[in-house]
Amino acid sequence: MTFTATQISFEDYLTHDDDTDNRYELVDGQLVLMNPPKGLHLLIADLLDMHFKAEIQRSKQPWRSLREAGVRTGANKSRLTDLCIVTTEQIREVINQSAVFQSPPLLIVEIVSPDSIKRDYRYKRSEYAALEVPEYWIVDPLEAKVTVLLLEEGLYEEVIYTGDQRLESPTFPEQMLTVEQIFAAGELG
């Protein structure tokens, strides 16, 4: 991770443009350069995005599944999610500005990579709990598991899924996705 030397405000972050395609998170007022994801990461995100969109359409919910949207997690903090589920009303709030949500998404998914282990399991977990994100998935291809975290009285209760176990989600109670199906996204054939 690369940090910038100067401090910037959240408002400056929303309009930051360094004439590159670089993507940044804002952590305690510093821009943190996010490395491009690996191919497996992209394939898993794509599979989950398609799955969530199909579930949203099937259940006729006024929600959207978005990739790489921002979520404000503190006064001078903003994280980039791999995937998040937000309401149509939340989208209306950012329709003509940077897609950084200041209210909690219904569900956030982070896909672990070797350089994001501590960030996804520790920092984002505590920040998303403080923001009161009701459901947070940590998809970990390194350990072949998915951790589903549900907010209970301000803290996350976790359930770890592996193998052919079907993930249980209050946001998508009828979905039939297994851990094996998620990680099969990387099988090109």
Task: Render each residue's pLDDT in the chain as its tens digit; 189 residues.
Answer: 555 567 899 999 998 888 888 889 999 999 999 988 899 999 999 999 999 999 999 999 999 999 999 999 999 999 999 999 999 999 999 998 888 999 999 999 999 999 899 999 999 999 999 999 999 999 999 999 999 999 999 999 999 999 999 999 999 999 999 999 999 997 876
Spell out the residues 6+ positions from residue 119 whose beta carbon is closer than 8 angstroms to its own: none
Q: Could you give the C-alpha distances from 109 to 30, 75, 134, 168, 183, in angstroms and in order?
A: 23, 22, 12, 14, 14
Topology of the domain comprising 36-186: tt1808, chain A (3.90.1570)
Tracing tokens 């503190």 back to the chain, one arrives at 74
Sign of CA dihedral 82, 86, 90, 91: positive
Domain positions in the chain are: 36-186
